[in-house]
């Protein structure tokens, strides 16, 4: 899949503010500081998501139209410690509404940091997607920061900690060095074509 055209459509909080569900949608979700914005920019070949040294910058649901034929949706990062309880509750509600109302959602890209074991929150997100029967793939970020032996173990650790069966793809990537982004786009293309 070649990304030829990327257009920021809007930021939204409530379902009534989302774009009409007239195109397939692929959402990307992960912990704050997992490298979500960097990965989005690398995948889309455009500096469109704001990369910040401060985690927890994405507080809205951002919709991007790709090649005029599907939406790429950037969801707020979860688990950022310095966010108040009330703010976290607000995020939770916003995410729930999104996941439960988007009938055109074809795939979720669940990001985990390949340098560390997936967290309990990553596991909860995986369980949540499975409970809602939303198809997902797991993408490990920051592969360039691992040495050879760590690279060999990273995928195994992710699969074990998240209790993934062999039907769930796990792809280790580097936004910086553009490693394995084509594999991620392969699954995106497959999801929006079905």
pLDDT at 138 (0 to 100): 98
Distances (CA, A) of 28 to 74, 84, 144, 149, 156: 5, 23, 20, 28, 22
Q: State the helix-helix crossing angle for 181-193 and 36-44, rounded to 10 degrees.
A: 80
Distance CA 111, CA 140 (A): 6
For the four alpha carbons of 131, 142, 173 and 114, in that order, the dihedral sign comes to negative
Q: How many CB atoms lie within 10 A of CB 93?
A: 12
Distances (CA, A) of 76 to 30, 53, 73, 107, 180: 8, 15, 10, 16, 24
pLDDT at 80 (0 to 100): 64
pLDDT at 58 (0 to 100): 55
Q: What is the mean pLDDT of residues 92-97?
A: 89
pLDDT grade for 51, boundaries at 50, 70 and 90: low
**pLDDT of 83 above 70:** no
CB 49 within 8 A of CB 62: yes
pLDDT at 23 (0 to 100): 97
pLDDT grade for 88, boundaries at 50, 70 and 90: confident
Domains, the chain, ordered by start: 6-193 (3.40.50.300)
């Amino acid at each position: 899949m070649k990304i030829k055209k990327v257009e920021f459509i809007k930021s939204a909080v409530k379902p009534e503010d989302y774009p009409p569900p007239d195109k397939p949608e692929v959402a990307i979700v992960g912990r704050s500081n997992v490298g979500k914005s960097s990965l989005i920019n690398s995948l889309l070949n455009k500096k469109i998501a704001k990369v910040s040294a401060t985690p927890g910058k994405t507080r809205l649901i951002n919709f991007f139209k790709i090649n005029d034929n599907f939406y790429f949706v950037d969801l707020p990062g979860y688990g950022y410690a310095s966010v108040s309880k009330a703010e976290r509750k607000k995020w939770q509600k916003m995410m729930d509404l999104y996941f439960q109302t988007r009938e055109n959602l074809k795939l979720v890209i669940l990001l985990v940091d390949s340098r560390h074991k997936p967290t309990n929150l990553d596991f909860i997100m995986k369980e949540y997607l499975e409970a809602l029967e939303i198809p997902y793939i797991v993408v490990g970020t920051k592969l360039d920061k691992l040495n050879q032996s760590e690279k060999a173990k990273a995928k195994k650790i992710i699969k074990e900690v998240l209790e993934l069966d062999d039907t769930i793809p796990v792809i280790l990537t580097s936004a910086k060095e553009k490693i394995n982004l084509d594999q991620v786009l392969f699954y995106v293309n497959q999801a929006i074509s079905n």
